[in-house]
């Protein structure tokens, strides 16, 4: 009497391994940030497109990274409104996520943005994403590829990184420690190899296609290890070779 039911359930479980993975809604990622997130252009090139190209099984996204933007100008210039409108447009069918990565321009003297102001701006963004119906993800700034005379990365984004982590814990938001992991990787491979990721010779901030691919996979790898793991499982088609080399601190030029 019970056998048919057991067989039925067993058959169902076997028949739908992908559906089981996709029990939640399909994620969609909207990337907010500066040129270190943005699509490669003459003034920028970040990890964003590299991350988006790892998405599989219907997951998708839009790179809203904007060269030169700060947590102030991204909002004042209208980019943030576009991000929030994209979130609102995708609730229902999709599970919208917004990655928030700033710091490179906020820290410039000319921007005149204090750490307190930077923190408040990030916290406001987190709150706006929730209100729009999405899930915020804070990402610490991708490291620059400037080395000191000991051959180690000059960690000149530390105040912005610490503030981002602090906002994350104060607002219970997932934080991806991209600054820490990119610094670790760049220290491991050394400056000569690190420069292979420069958008053009002498640009130690922006990425070429190889850099975009490596650091895009790094963001996906961090997301896969985060508390959002169960939500994104089955939607990230990371390159295993690249991830293995990131983990091992081995230089790779995809
Ligand atoms: C969201 O939908 C509105 C109304 O259809 C449209 O005007 C707007 O361009 C959409 N925004 C995005 C980012 O998709
Ligand atoms: C920098 O910002 C502070 C606080 O908003 C303001 O009082 C100050 O005048 C600004 N400095 C410059 C040079 O714009
Ligand atoms: C290089 O940076 C590392 C890490 O911040 C630091 O420990 C080391 O003292 C620095 N070396 C020089 C020569 O500044
Ligand atoms: C986070 O909360 C702690 C404790 O209330 C506070 O000291 C700190 O300034 C807050 N950090 C930010 C970035 O808001
Ligand atoms: C993963 O990256 C390596 C190194 O760039 C490349 O040779 C390989 O084709 C990639 N694999 C896939 C499935 O894209």
pLDDT per residue as tens digits for the range 213-224: 999 999 999 999
Q: Is the pLDDT of residue 111 over 60?
A: yes
Q: How would residue 34 be classed by pLDDT, with cut points 50, 70 and 90? A: very high
Does residue 78 have its Cβ closer than 6 Å to ligand 1? no
Do the domain assignments include residue 71? yes
The residue whose CA has the least distance to atom 8 of ligand 4 is 166
CA distances from 30 to 53, 55, 62, 154 (A): 13, 12, 5, 30
**Which pLDDT does position 23 carry in this prediction?**
53
Mean pLDDT of 28-34: 98
Do the domain assignments include residue 1? no
- Looking at the 3D structure of the chain, how many domains does it have? 1
* Distance separating alpha carbons of residues 45 and 55, to the nearest angstrom: 19
The residue whose CA has the least distance to atom 3 of ligand 4 is 170
Positive or negative, the CA dihedral 35, 40, 44, 50 is positive
Do the domain assignments include residue 7? no
Do the domain assignments include residue 84? yes
| Angle separating helix axes 209-224 and 240-248, nearest 10 degrees | 80
β-bridge mates for residue 236, sequence order: 55
Do the domain assignments include residue 5? no
* Distance separating alpha carbons of residues 237 and 53, to the nearest angstrom: 8
Cβ-Cβ contacts under 8 Å for 219 (sequence gap 6 or more): 47, 50, 51, 99, 139, 176, 178
> How far, in Å, is the centroid of ligand 1 from the Cα of 89?
6
The residue whose CA has the least distance to atom 11 of ligand 3 is 150
Nearest ligand 1 atom to alpha carbon 62: 13
End-to-end CA distance of the chain: 57
Q: Which residues of 147-163 are buried (b: 16+ CB within 10 A; e: fewer)?
A: beeeeebeeebeebbeb
Q: Let me know how long the chain is.
A: 254
Do the domain assignments include residue 11? no
> How far, in Å, is the centroid of ligand 2 from the Cα of 110?
10
Strands 60-63 and 94-101: unpaired
Q: Is the pLDDT of residue 202 over 60?
A: yes
Mean pLDDT of 21-26: 69
Domain that holds residue 143: 18-238
**Which pLDDT does position 24 carry in this prediction?**
76
The residue whose CA has the least distance to atom 7 of ligand 3 is 152
Do the domain assignments include residue 36? yes
Q: What are phi and psi of 41, to 5 degrees?
A: -140, -170
> How far, in Å, is the centroid of ligand 2 from the Cα of 125?
22
pLDDT for 38-86, tens place per residue? 999 998 999 999 999 999 999 999 999 999 999 999 999 999 999 999 9
- CATH number of the domain enclosing 165: 3.40.50.1110
Do the domain assignments include residue 246? no
Average pLDDT across the chain, whole number: 92
Q: What is the dihedral of CA 41, 42, 43, 47, to 10 degrees?
A: 40
């Amino acid at each position: 009497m019970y056998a048919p039911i057991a067989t039925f359930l067993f058959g169902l479980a076997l028949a739908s391994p992908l559906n089981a993975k996709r029990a939640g809604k399909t994620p969609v990622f909207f990337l907010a940030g500066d040129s270190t997130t943005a699509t490669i252009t003459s003034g920028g090139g970040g990890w964003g497109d590299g991350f988006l190209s790892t998405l599989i099984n219907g997951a998708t996204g839009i790179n809203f990274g904007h060269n030169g933007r700060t947590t102030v100008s991204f909002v004042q210039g209208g980019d943030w409104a576009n991000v929030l409108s994209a979130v609102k447009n995708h609730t229902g069918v999709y599970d919208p996520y917004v990655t928030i990565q700033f710091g490179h321009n906020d820290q410039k003297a000319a921007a005149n943005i204090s750490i307190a102001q930077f923190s408040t701006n990030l916290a406001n963004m987190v709150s706006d994403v929730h209100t729009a119906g999405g899930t915020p993800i804070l990402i610490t700034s991708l490291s620059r590829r400037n080395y000191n005379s000991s051959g180690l990365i000059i960690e000149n984004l530390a105040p912005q990184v610490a503030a981002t982590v602090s906002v994350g814990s104060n607002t219970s938001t997932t934080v991806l420690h991209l600054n820490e992991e990119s610094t670790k990787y760049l220290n491991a491979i050394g400056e000569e190899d690190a420069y292979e990721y420069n958008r053009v010779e002498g640009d130690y901030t922006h990425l070429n296609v190889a850099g975009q691919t490596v650091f895009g996979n790094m963001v996906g790898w961090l997301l896969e290890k985060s508390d959002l793991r169960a939500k994104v499982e089955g939607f990230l088609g990371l390159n295993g070779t690249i991830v293995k080399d990131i983990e091992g601190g081995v230089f790779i030029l995809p």
